[in-house]
Structure 1
Amino acid sequence: MSSPVFRQPRRRHLPALALAAALGGCAVGPDYHTPAAPTDARLTEAPLLGQTVSAATPGGTAQRLTVGRDIPGEWWTLFHSPQVTALVRQALAGNPTVTAAQATLREALQNVRAGQGALFPQLSASVQAQRQQASLAAFGLGSGTATFGLITGAVNVSYTLDAFGGIRRQIEQLNAQAEYQRYEVEATILTLAANVITTAINEASLQAQIDITNDIVRADNEALRLMQQRFQLGGVSQVEVLQQQSLLDAKVATLPDLRKQLQQTRNQLAVLLGGRPAGYTMPTLKLNDLTLPADLPVSLPSKLVEQRPDIRAYAALLHAAYTGVGIATANMLPQITLTGSLGREGTDLPNVFTPSGLVWSIASSLAQPIFEGGTLLARRRAAQAALEVAAAQYSDTVNVAFQNVADALVAIQRDAEALHAALAAEKTAAASLAMTLSQYEAGAGSYLAVLTAEQVEYSARLTLQMAQAARFTDTVALFQALGGGWWNRDDIDPKTAHCCGVLP
């Protein structure tokens, strides 16, 4: 999207512009139009495959990519995990960022209400009673003093004629800001749900890596025990014992870092759920309890801008920037104000209600800025620059959104291939280890070959496990990149939003 460019109106044209606006009742400044949807034919550089490869292991389900498929509001239920669903719901109910986003929206809606009040006459009532002693000499009436009272009551009316739409532009800007907050709520909910699921999957992956390492450590401990027995009987050399000990120590050395990552991940999950680490007691998720969704949606490029809450939010900011130019333009034009007052006045309470006690006034005023040291012109130019900034930021947000989707789609395709390859590598490594052990026990191989095969098998098991976790996190990333189906949920009370024109 190209940045909007505006020409400065010449000052000699301002009177004509003011007259035309006053007669037509228009709102000065550029009108906002929803940016055109992208016309890209696809989301990725290369055409997408209709289905990923499969692997006969948990997380290895083949996934079908369906263009135009809708996204359910609670997309996390597609993993068919009661624990995942419970985690997300707990986070949405307890995380302070959601509470803050909802409260910020309510604040913005009330600001819209407050701004709408400027379209109506402003009424105020006043009552004043005073008692005063005056010197008669001041009026040439001799010496002495006189004491008198005055009671005044009036209703005052003031109305600013919005001839050039400055007030309407301000209300339009407040509405745009409220719309921005409305989509910030959706973006907050989407990000939180995705972070909770991804963090829970990472926790499960780390726990699985620890379990695999512990299995290998137990097997290596047993192998070391047998090796030491054979060494005492003269069946193996001390070098082979030290090699086994070194391998065992290397495995044990990896556990502290894995446990650190696991605990830090649980701490992060505790905060995402709205609590603190000390009170977190949720059991660790198991990847085998998750179901990888077999059917995945792929939105059309033209629909993506409607689905992504961050794009909708930046579109609202762009709208607000358009109105800023109108507001700055209206401030350079005449301001017309009508005022009136109706009341009673008298020296005492009985006199206030006599016919002679009635007082009233009516007035109009027109104020045209003439010279303010270039302030108003500079503010209009600043508003135009802010509009160009908002247009560029909107364009960048759209580009990044398309990148997010393309990255997720590529990851789903390639990580499915990686899992398929990792499974084959793990099977080969396990078979190689079994054969190497058999040869060594038969006296036909070296123990170094056994250690090498064991290390390869251990690495293959870890790689397989991480590849399984990646399939789930890739799916989460795709749902997040596509907008998360917020349009199929009721995160915000429609009555509250409709009251100020925030929702369509």
Structure 2
Amino acid sequence: MSLPSMTRSSISLAAASLLAAACSFGPNGNPPAMPEPAHYGADPLPTQTVPAQGVTQQFVVGAKAVPQWWRTFQSDDLNALVDEGLRNSPTLAAADKNLTAAREQLRAQIGSNMLPSIDAGGQVTRQRALGIPQAGPNTFLYNVFVGQLQAQYTFDIFGAARLANAALASRVNVQAYQFDAARRALAANIVTAAISAAMLDAQVQTTERLVALANDQARDTQRRYELGAVPHSDLLNAQQSAASLAASLPAARQQLLTTRHALAVLLGRTPDQAPPPLDLALLHVPEQVPVSVPSDLLQARPDIEAADATLKAAAAEVGVATAQMFPSLTLNASMGQGGFSWPVAVSGAGAIWSLGASLTQPIFRGGALFAQRRAAVASYEASVSQYKQTVLAAFQNVADTLAALEHDTQSLDASNIAAQTAQRSFDETSARYRLGAVPVTAARASEQQYRNARLDEIRYTGARLNDTAALFQAMGNPPVDDAHAASASTGAATAAQ
């Protein structure tokens, strides 16, 4: 083998060794293995809920999450509210702009530390300087004309720049996943606020009827007391009951208004432009609800993906801290024209240039480089623990939501039976009152019993709707296409290359 061939082979081998060393400067950034439980909660997951209000919800294990899950509630008004909020929310718009800024910062960093820098400079000065001792006048006056191009490039031999770019790209990925999480949270908050407003509106209407019935009962008791038909204690009890119900009504109305105001702000409106409450009866729970297996959940939830990206960034930053302990090689070059007069500066005699290289090896920094690497390793280990905690919290979120949906559906079934029974009793009593078989007080008491049962049914109806929305939200999968995350991932790949 010829000497030039041996030299090229040696250089290639050395370059490959340096690249391998750079790749092993830090952890690989892969997330730790997590347990995959057979079921999320302490109790096995049932295949379906109990039937309530004629609907039995099926838990479809292993099914993919639904992107625009709010459309399964079959309400055009609800769909319009979510679309408006995703389109007009200032908070979401700010997060989008912050993500755009982070991507531009990534592009700026890649361009500054992976490509040469070239600058143009010019200088025109006139000055009086000291002359050479005993060789002429003490000072002399002269002009300087200089114009040149300067180039500089630092070779990324040990991968410090590449790893820094990969770390920043992963941080951009974190913001992209957080943006998707913000979109999902906004959609879920709009849905739950709309459901809560519909539920509170129905409760207020029912409570208003109960207050009217209690006032009627108090007036009848007043007349009967004046006739001597009932004791004074009965009148006081009737008045106390009517006043207690009336006292609960302002708080219910206040809660309804607060919910409507919050919904208006979520939509990007002022509170005075709050939408009217939806009709609770027109919101339908979906009969099939997807339940992702734990392994799929790790890839679907933005919070877990953000924790994974944070872990990769911390791993790259360990590599950056390690690479800073090794030499750095910088090449400098410049060329241009210069002279002590303008004609000389623009002529061939005024050509100037320079070419040089500098090699810097840290020797003593007071232990700063080692401390920085230990800090980066500690941050990486903290990111590993935070990833584990995020996954465990996601599992708990799904488990709690499944349990809440199951138990609130059981309560809804019982309250629905109670309300239906009370309604039949009220219908029969009303029919007997119209025939003159029972007094008006009996019909009024029967209606009060029905309205109270109806209040419980309304509360659990809203609870099941909100639990269903929370379960869809817990399953992950962004409500719109994940173009932001894909773009950020592309940036990360570019930085790594």
Q: Same fold (TM over 0.5)?
A: yes
2:43 aligned partner: 46
C-alpha distance in structure 2 between counterparts of 1:373 and 1:42, whole Å:
53
Q: Which of these residues, 476, 481, 497, is aligned with residue 490 of structure 1?
A: 481
How many residues end up aligned between the 2 structures? 477
Q: Does 1:365 align with 2:361?
A: no
C-alpha distance in structure 1 between counterparts of 2:210 and 2:257, whole Å:
21
Q: How does 1:404-443 map to 2 (within 5 A)?
A: 404-429=397-422
Q: Partner amino acid for 1:314?
A: A
Give the C-alpha shift of residue 158 in structure 1: 1.0
Q: Partner amino acid for 2:393?
A: V
Aligned CA distance change for structure 1 residues 156 and 210 (closer, same or farther; 3 Å): same
DSSP-derived class of the 1:338 partner: strand
2:342 aligned partner: 349
Q: How does 1:326-405 map to 2 (within 5 A)?
A: 326-405=319-398
Q: Which of these residues, 286, 310, 327, is aligned with residue 303 of structure 2?
A: 310
DSSP-derived class of the 2:388 partner: helix
2:18 aligned partner: 22
Aligned CA distance change for structure 1 residues 82 and 454 (closer, same or farther; 3 Å): closer
For the 8 Å contact 2:148–2:334, the answer to whether it is kept is yes
Give the C-alpha shift of residue 68 in structure 1: 2.1
Give the C-alpha shift of residue 360 in structure 1: 1.8
Q: Which of these residues, 191, 196, 218, is aligned with residue 190 of structure 2?
A: 196
Give the C-alpha shift of residue 127 in structure 1: 1.2
Q: Which of these residues, 236, 247, 250, is aligned with residue 241 of structure 2?
A: 247
C-alpha distance in structure 2 between counterparts of 1:275 and 1:382, whole Å:
46
2:8 aligned partner: none
DSSP-derived class of the 1:296 partner: strand
Give the C-alpha shift of residue 302 in structure 1: 0.4
Give the C-alpha shift of residue 141 in structure 1: 4.2
1:6 aligned partner: none
DSSP-derived class of the 2:152 partner: strand
Q: Does 1:31 align with 2:28?
A: yes
Aligned CA distance change for structure 1 residues 341 and 408 (closer, same or farther; 3 Å): same
C-alpha distance in structure 2 between counterparts of 1:170 and 1:257, whole Å:
56
Structure 1, 490-499 or 105-114: larger mean CA deviation: 490-499
What are the ranges of 5 or more consecutive residues in structure 1 without an aligned counterpart? 1-17
Aligned CA distance change for structure 1 residues 452 and 288 (closer, same or farther; 3 Å): closer
2:9 aligned partner: none
For the 8 Å contact 2:218–2:235, the answer to whether it is kept is yes
TM-score (norm 2): 0.87
Structure 1, 223-232 or 296-305: larger mean CA deviation: 223-232
For the 8 Å contact 2:213–2:444, the answer to whether it is kept is no
For the 8 Å contact 1:176–1:502, the answer to whether it is kept is no
Q: Partner amino acid for 1:116?
A: I
C-alpha distance in structure 1 between counterparts of 2:311 and 2:353, whole Å:
47
Deviations 1:147-192 (A, max 9, x none): 3322112211111111111101100011101100110111001111
DSSP-derived class of the 1:403 partner: helix
Q: Which of these residues, 202, 206, 209, is aligned with residue 212 of structure 1?
A: 206
Give the C-alpha shift of residue 202 in structure 1: 1.1
Deviations 1:379-434 (A, max 9, x none): 11111111111111111110010111111111221111111111223344556778
DSSP-derived class of the 1:421 partner: helix
C-alpha distance in structure 2 between counterparts of 1:491 and 1:98, whole Å:
15
Q: Which of these residues, 462, 474, 478, is aligned with residue 469 of structure 1?
A: 462
Q: Does 1:288 align with 2:281?
A: yes
C-alpha distance in structure 1 between counterparts of 2:242 and 2:426, whole Å:
16
Deviations 1:189-231 (A, max 9, x none): 1111111111111111111111111111222222333333333
Structure 1, 242-251 or 488-497: larger mean CA deviation: 488-497
Q: Partner amino acid for 1:225?
A: R
DSSP-derived class of the 1:26 partner: helix
DSSP-derived class of the 1:477 partner: helix
C-alpha distance in structure 2 between counterparts of 1:422 and 1:296, whole Å:
23
DSSP-derived class of the 2:22 partner: coil
For the 8 Å contact 1:40–1:302, the answer to whether it is kept is no
Q: Which of these residues, 451, 471, 477, is aligned with residue 478 of structure 1?
A: 471
Q: Partner amino acid for 2:208?
A: N
DSSP-derived class of the 1:71 partner: coil
Q: Partner amino acid for 2:458?
A: Q
C-alpha distance in structure 2 between counterparts of 1:453 and 1:23, whole Å:
84
Aligned CA distance change for structure 1 residues 366 and 293 (closer, same or farther; 3 Å): same
For the 8 Å contact 1:220–1:248, the answer to whether it is kept is yes
Q: Which of these residues, 70, 95, 102, is aligned with residue 89 of structure 2?
A: 95
DSSP-derived class of the 1:500 partner: helix
Give the C-alpha shift of residue 347 in structure 1: 2.1
Q: Does 1:120 align with 2:115?
A: yes
C-alpha distance in structure 2 between counterparts of 1:366 and 1:328, whole Å:
19
C-alpha distance in structure 2 between counterparts of 1:123 and 1:54, whole Å:
73
Structure 1, 67-76 or 389-398: larger mean CA deviation: 67-76
Structure 1, 395-404 or 455-464: larger mean CA deviation: 455-464
For the 8 Å contact 2:66–2:472, the answer to whether it is kept is no
Q: Partner amino acid for 2:481?
A: D
Q: Partner amino acid for 2:467?
A: D
Identity of aligned residues (%): 39
For the 8 Å contact 1:203–1:284, the answer to whether it is kept is yes
For the 8 Å contact 1:244–1:451, the answer to whether it is kept is no
1:301 aligned partner: 294
Deviations 1:267-286 (A, max 9, x none): 21122112332x32411111
1:186 aligned partner: 180
Deviations 1:439-494 (A, max 9, x none): 9x99999x9x99998776554222111011111000110011111x31x7236468
Give the C-alpha shift of residue 328 in structure 1: 1.0
DSSP-derived class of the 2:218 partner: helix
Aligned CA distance change for structure 1 residues 489 and 371 (closer, same or farther; 3 Å): same
Aligned CA distance change for structure 1 residues 390 and 452 (closer, same or farther; 3 Å): farther
C-alpha distance in structure 2 between counterparts of 1:493 and 1:316, whole Å:
14
Q: Which of these residues, 126, 134, 138, is aligned with residue 140 of structure 1?
A: 134
1:55 aligned partner: 52
Q: Does 1:131 align with 2:126?
A: yes
C-alpha distance in structure 2 between counterparts of 1:251 and 1:153, whole Å:
89
C-alpha distance in structure 2 between counterparts of 1:135 and 1:373, whole Å:
42
C-alpha distance in structure 1 between counterparts of 2:48 and 2:27, whole Å:
47
Structure 1, 80-89 or 350-359: larger mean CA deviation: 350-359
Give the C-alpha shift of residue 71 in structure 1: 2.7
